[in-house]
């Protein structure tokens, strides 16, 4: 690392690792419940597990994004973070709010709105927390020596993500209106501004890992985020087909959400092309695996599997079934989980000064988690499609159909075990690196002169 204050990032990454373990644990509880084993029903009923699983996902990803920003912004703006102390306060309060929310869920303290279950009083604390984070990032960036495109796109993504949290806090008497604005948060996050964050992190990693000229990478970054907004903003319409919104959303949502894979395709092609063009290879191969992996898997999970059920005629049947869970799992893992893991895999050797990359454990972590998640996606897909035909097409009672598809959750749990093993190995590697080391400050491990060249 170049700047001492970048060390803050490590602790955000550590929080991410802790929370993903919890998230996976609650995922298992739900998987077993779907299979018919709901022994924990009295203590952790399904809706508690579900709220916890979803919200921990959001918080660990946000913590990962924040860690990425605290690492990237000093380096890109050539400036120490303006207040390290405040960044640690922000970290601790983020963790406290997250933990309080999760405990609250177990005591029926929540807002029953998917993804936005955090109770209202805690929402205000989230807003204060995020404003503190943005304050540190923005002041550091604009007091710095330069404002690179990569840093600006990343920051823009973070600022918009904060702004878009607000429509989710407005009370509506109407369930339909509530839903309409809930998607302003959820959709415009994951299929809009989070892609800016992902694009910014991806561009930073490609600049560092491939050695391709910054101007070239940043030019294509603009094209990709341009495509994201071109398709993603009106693509929100695919959530408005069947919630009491007018019919024109069927046409608009259908057309623009069918274009959404383009942004992800561009991202995958861009990452692969830059990697080839680079010619020289960075020694941290694991970071390259996660970076390219994220670009490719997000195209499959978010792009193609999203497209598979986004057209109104298909969505009429798949809306509100396990088909959504199929798309959701690979999309979140590919686009956001893997990019956070890529950032961590790149940053750990830099923060600690220890070059433990390219060990077998790191490779197993990558492949087991990836294959496990692909297997889970297939299991959800098979269960979802069977559910659609039995329940929606043939008209079987909900529970009759559910019992028919229970068997697929056995496969799901097997694959989830593989996935969890991969994540476990990644965390074991994380722990092996140890804590950030002051001796690593000022060291540059990206010096291509001393690195191996490609064959």
User: According to CB under 8 A, which residues from 389 to 448 bind other proteins?
Assistant: 391-396, 398-400, 402-403
* Rounded Cα–Cα distance for residues 18 and 284 (Å): 24
Q: At its nearest, how many Å lie between other proteins and the CB of residue 51?
A: 5
Contact flag: residue 86 with other proteins (CB under 8 A):
no
Nearest to other proteins of 80, 404 (CB atom): 404
Residue of the chain from 20, 26, 91, 117 that contacts other proteins (CB under 8 A): 117
Nearest to other proteins of 92, 251 (CB atom): 251
Q: At its nearest, how many Å lie between other proteins and the CB of residue 133?
A: 23
Residue 391 DSSP one-character state: I
Residue with tokens 């069977």: 386
Q: At its nearest, how many Å lie between other proteins and the CB of residue 82?
A: 27
Q: At its nearest, how many Å lie between other proteins and the CB of residue 50?
A: 4
Nearest to other proteins of 104, 434 (CB atom): 104
Q: At its nearest, how many Å lie between other proteins and the CB of residue 407?
A: 15
* Rounded Cα–Cα distance for residues 157 and 179 (Å): 23
Binders of other proteins among residues 334 to 373 (CB under 8 A) are: none
Asked if 67 and 9 touch (Cβ cutoff 8 Å), the reply is yes
Candidates 83-91, 213-221, 351-359, 444-452; binding stretch for other proteins (CB under 8 A):
213-221
Q: At its nearest, how many Å lie between other proteins and the CB of residue 357?
A: 32
Residue of the chain from 11, 13, 70, 110 that contacts other proteins (CB under 8 A): 110
Contact flag: residue 249 with other proteins (CB under 8 A):
yes
Binders of other proteins among residues 311 to 340 (CB under 8 A) are: 316-317, 319-322, 324-325
Rg (CA), the chain: 21
Would you tell me how many other CB atoms lie within 10 Å of the CB of residue 447?
Answer: 8
Residue of the chain from 22, 25, 46, 269 that contacts other proteins (CB under 8 A): 46
Run of H or E including 201: helix 194-210
What is the biggest distance separating any 2 CA atoms in the chain, rounded to whole angstroms? Answer: 66
Asked if 2 and 442 touch (Cβ cutoff 8 Å), the reply is yes
Helix (H, G, I), strand (E, B) or coil at 111: coil
Angle (CA) 204-422-367 rounded to 5° is 70
Binders of other proteins among residues 256 to 315 (CB under 8 A) are: none
Residue of the chain from 22, 139, 162, 252 that contacts other proteins (CB under 8 A): 252
Contact flag: residue 88 with other proteins (CB under 8 A):
no
Binders of other proteins among residues 152 to 191 (CB under 8 A) are: 173-180
Helix (H, G, I), strand (E, B) or coil at 453: strand
Extract the tokens encoding 193.
């501004």
* Rounded Cα–Cα distance for residues 8 and 271 (Å): 28
Residues touching other proteins: how many (CB under 8 A)? 74
Asked if 317 and 244 touch (Cβ cutoff 8 Å), the reply is no
Nearest to other proteins of 88, 248 (CB atom): 248
Residues in the chain: 455
Run of H or E including 27: helix 8-35
**Residues contacting 347, CB < 8 A, separation 6+:** 1, 6, 9, 10, 13, 67, 68, 71
Would you tell me how many other CB atoms lie within 10 Å of the CB of residue 236?
Answer: 21
Run of H or E including 51: helix 46-77
Closest CA to 83 of 152, 150, 138: 138
x/- mask, other proteins, residues 216-245, rule CB under 8 A, reads --xxx-xx-xx--xx--xx-x---xxxxxx
Nearest to other proteins of 155, 402 (CB atom): 402
Candidates 4-12, 80-88, 385-393, 412-420; binding stretch for other proteins (CB under 8 A):
385-393
Q: At its nearest, how many Å lie between other proteins and the CB of residue 253?
A: 10
Sign of the dihedral through C-alpha 320, 323, 328, 331:
negative
Nearest to other proteins of 90, 236 (CB atom): 236
Q: At its nearest, how many Å lie between other proteins and the CB of residue 11?
A: 31
Nearest to other proteins of 96, 251 (CB atom): 251
Q: At its nearest, how many Å lie between other proteins and the CB of residue 71?
A: 24
Q: At its nearest, how many Å lie between other proteins and the CB of residue 112?
A: 3
């Amino acid at each position: 690392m170049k700047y001492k204050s970048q060390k803050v990032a490590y602790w955000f990454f550590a929080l991410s690792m802790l929370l993903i373990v919890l998230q996976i644990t609650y995922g298992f509880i739900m998987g077993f419940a779907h299979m018919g084993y709901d022994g924990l029903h009295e203590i952790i009923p399904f809706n508690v597990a579900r709220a916890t699983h979803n919200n921990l996902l959001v918080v660990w990803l946000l913590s990962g994004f924040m860690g990425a920003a605290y690492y990237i912004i000093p380096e890109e703006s050539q400036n120490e973070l303006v207040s390290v102390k405040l960044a640690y306060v922000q970290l601790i309060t983020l963790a406290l709010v997250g933990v309080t929310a999760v405990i609250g869920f177990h005591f029926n303290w929540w807002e029953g709105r998917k993804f936005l279950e955090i109770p209202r009083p805690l929402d205000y604390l989230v807003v204060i927390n995020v404003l503190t984070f943005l304050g540190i990032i923005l002041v550091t960036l604009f007091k710095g020596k330069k404002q690179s495109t990569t840093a600006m796109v990343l920051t823009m993504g973070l600022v918009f993500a904060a702004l878009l949290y607000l429509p989710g806090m407005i009370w509506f008497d109407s369930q339909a209106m509530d839903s309409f604005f809930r998607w302003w948060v959820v959709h415009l996050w994951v299929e809009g501004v989070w892609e800016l964050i992902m694009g910014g992190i991806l561009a930073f990693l490609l600049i560092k890992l491939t050695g391709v000229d910054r101007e070239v990478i940043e030019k294509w970054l603009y094209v990709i985020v341009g495509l994201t907004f071109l398709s993603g903003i009106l693509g929100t319409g695919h959530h408005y087909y069947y919630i009491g919104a007018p019919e024109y959303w069927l046409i608009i949502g259908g057309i623009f959400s069918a274009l959404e894979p383009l942004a992800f395709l561009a991202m995958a092609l861009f990452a692969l092309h830059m990697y080839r063009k680079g010619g020289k290879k960075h020694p941290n191969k694991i970071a390259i695996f996660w970076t390219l992996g994220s670009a490719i898997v997000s195209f499959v999970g978010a792009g193609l599997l999203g497209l598979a059920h986004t057209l109104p005629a298909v969505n009429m049947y798949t809306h509100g079934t396990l088909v959504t869970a199929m798309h959701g799992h690979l999309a979140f893992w590919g686009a956001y989980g893997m990019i956070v893991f890529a950032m961590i895999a790149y940053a750990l050797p830099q923060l600690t000064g220890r070059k433990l990359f390219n060990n077998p454990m790191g490779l197993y972590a990558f492949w087991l988690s990836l294959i496990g998640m692909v297997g889970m996606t297939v299991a959800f897909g098979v269960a979802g499609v069977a559910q659609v035909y039995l329940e929606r097409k043939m008209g079987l009672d909900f529970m009759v159909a559910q019992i028919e598809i229970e068997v697929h959750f056995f496969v799901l749990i097997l694959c989830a075990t593989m996935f969890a093993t991969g994540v476990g190995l990644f965390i074991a590697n994380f722990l092996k690196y140890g804590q950030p080391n002051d001796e690593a400050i000022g060291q540059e491990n990206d010096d291509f002169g001393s690195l191996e060249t490609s064959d």
